[in-house]
Amino acid sequence: MIVLDDKDFSDKSVKSFTVRELSHQDINDFVCKWHYSQSINGVNISHVFGLFCDEYLIGAMIFGAPAMHNAWKKYVDNPDKITELRRLCCVDNTPRNTESFFIGQCLRWLKKNSNFEVVVSYADEFHNHQGTIYKASNFKYLGKTAKGKVIDYNGVMYHDKTIRTYYVNKHGIKNLKPFAQKIKTALELGEAFYVNTPGKHIYVYNLK
C-alpha cells in the first residue's frame, strides 16, 4: 500500500479502482491529511475501507456508531442495526463520480457482510457541505439537525462530546480519556474555544 502526497488520477476510470477492508491504523494519516476534520479521535469505529488505484491509497471511509447519543432510536429498534458514515475523503485529483463509486462499493459490502439495516450520514453546512454526494448515492434526505457547537483547538474542530469520552480502568474507576482531558484542559486555559454551528443535513440509506 502506497500513501500519497500528490499524484494525478483524474485520467483513470473509476471502474479500475478497488475497495479493500483496512484497519484504522492504515488510514489514520490519510484521513488527517485529506479530511476536513483532520482527525479520527472520538470515532467509535466498526468498519474501515480504502479506495485504491493499483497499490495507491486514494480514498478512505470509516463507519461506526452514531456520534449523536440515542439518534439510532429515530431509525431502528436496536443500536446494533445502524451505522454512521463517519469519515469519507479522497485525494483531490480523481475522476468524476469517484466518491459515489466508493460509497456504492462500501454499501454493497455492508449489505452483504453485516447486520446493519440503516446507514446514516451528515453533511456539515459549517464546512460548506450540502450532501450532493449522498443524493447521487441514493440516500434519502431527512432535513437538518438542531444547531450545535464544536471545539476549536489549534485550528482543528472537534465534536463537543470529545470532552465527555471515558474509559474504565482495571479498578473499575471511570476516567476521562487522555485526549478528552487534553481538550478539556485547553478549554479551561483558553487555548481552545467553542464555535456555534448550523444544523447538519441528514441523509439515510436503507440496506435491507
Q: What's the helix, strand, coil split of the chain in %, to 5?
A: 30, 35, 35
Question: pTM of whole model > 0.75?
Answer: yes
Place of cell 429515530: 74
User: Can you give the pLDDT of all 208 residues of the chain as single tens digits?
Assistant: 666 556 889 999 999 999 999 999 999 999 999 998 888 887 889 999 999 999 999 999 999 999 888 889 999 999 999 999 999 999 999 999 999 999 999 999 999 999 999 999 999 988 889 999 999 999 999 999 999 899 999 988 888 888 988 888 888 898 999 999 999 999 999 999 999 999 999 999 999 8
- Give 69's DSSP letter: T
CA distance 108 to 130: 24
Over its C-alpha atoms, the chain yields an Rg (Å, rounded) of 18
Looking only at the bridges linking them, the beta strands covering 2-3 and 45-53 are: unpaired
